[in-house]
Structure 1
């Protein structure tokens, strides 16, 4: 008798940090938004560690991230997934696209691509220099996906209707780097499908990635989740708050002020006295009174 496919709840969300440094306030906003969207709908919330690039991962940070989330009252409802353990799964998905003759090797340097005179929504567009190259097992270089100019459209729950034509707006993009590291776009799509993710809640800085991911979902026969892209936290210079811009790590010794700041950033109005409660009381209130329609677009 064949194994029955897994039965997933109607709502499955996820939070997918990269272990390049400890969680900061920008990370907390994304975690809180995704957690409350899931829990307010009686759904599941999962944690996935996006450690695709071993050169960027800092030893011990994955465990630190999980400990921080636990101290803040957020625990994954299923086993934590580590992307560096899933290269064979990504390779299998890449092979499906290769059999459709949609993948080609690219040996262009970063400078050659940066010198492209074609500009899209994310900067220079790859000009297609290697599109005619023949793909074989020992072929060097990165692996790019051929795009076309079909209209990719989706309605983001917060940002509204988004329309892109990949070939002219983004261009052929990398699925696996020349050093063998798989790209975020492919790995996220494969993992979301395998984990049964129904709703993706993440920062607005990833909004332009969504069209690429929907394109891959269509080619691989995966369902497309619902998307909600949260406003991004910026510093005093208007830069996205990140490890690269010197964001301070979260202080889990006193979690309530940070949780209150995060939920207020997301447009919610917690009562002032909530700051004197414990983490459990915070989540009870936040889940009951969560209003996603109050989240600001930017």
Structure 2
């Protein structure tokens, strides 16, 4: 099969750290162009806007949209209107409604749309899903705490309305939870901590349940220094489960049963290529819906200012 001519829009930290290495290692793609207000990719055509890129490089077949979520819808509409397959970096958009509209547009135009939840592709996630499918889950604790200064240095957009704040990493945990649990859950209460000088939360605590009364609690915090915490613990009829290291390590009753190096973005691009070849789309909005519900239910608490 011939390579897919790919373009990337929004050349920032995540693109340099993850997207470019994953694409370079995948023979399914040929990176032919990039568009960004500030960044450039060496060795290919670079443009300031997606409009300029699409007009100048009509051979582009697929576009990865990696700008902040508040600006992604407008770019996706342009790419879909031009008949391009579209990869949406997580979160796929600033609102549920706009992503649902993009899915309808992609279907109408016969192109692929991929809402890419990278943490779902952590190596031990499917093993955790298989374990939970064979037992009854009694309770679950999600602890996702990290240092925002390390992972998002100087990135003002994450603190703006629509930037999600601590839900930018927290949605990664929710993407795993919604993949591994055998039943759908819903939020019942939430507390969101907002720095007094920011429009997005720096911490959140959420309780969830399901139709059978599951006790699920999640804690997200961006103020953790030192070792980072990306853990999902479950108590089940078959014993305890710990999915740790962001989904790359699974232990059951204290014994490690699955551990592999992280390959999330390479697998995302493999999946995107499969969708394009098969003429399909993958747009699961469950993680984003849980975030929206937390904002709807959440009790807002103002905490000390945050300064990068």
- For normalisation by structure 1, the TM-score amounts to 0.23
Greater percentage in strand: 2
- For normalisation by structure 2, the TM-score amounts to 0.22
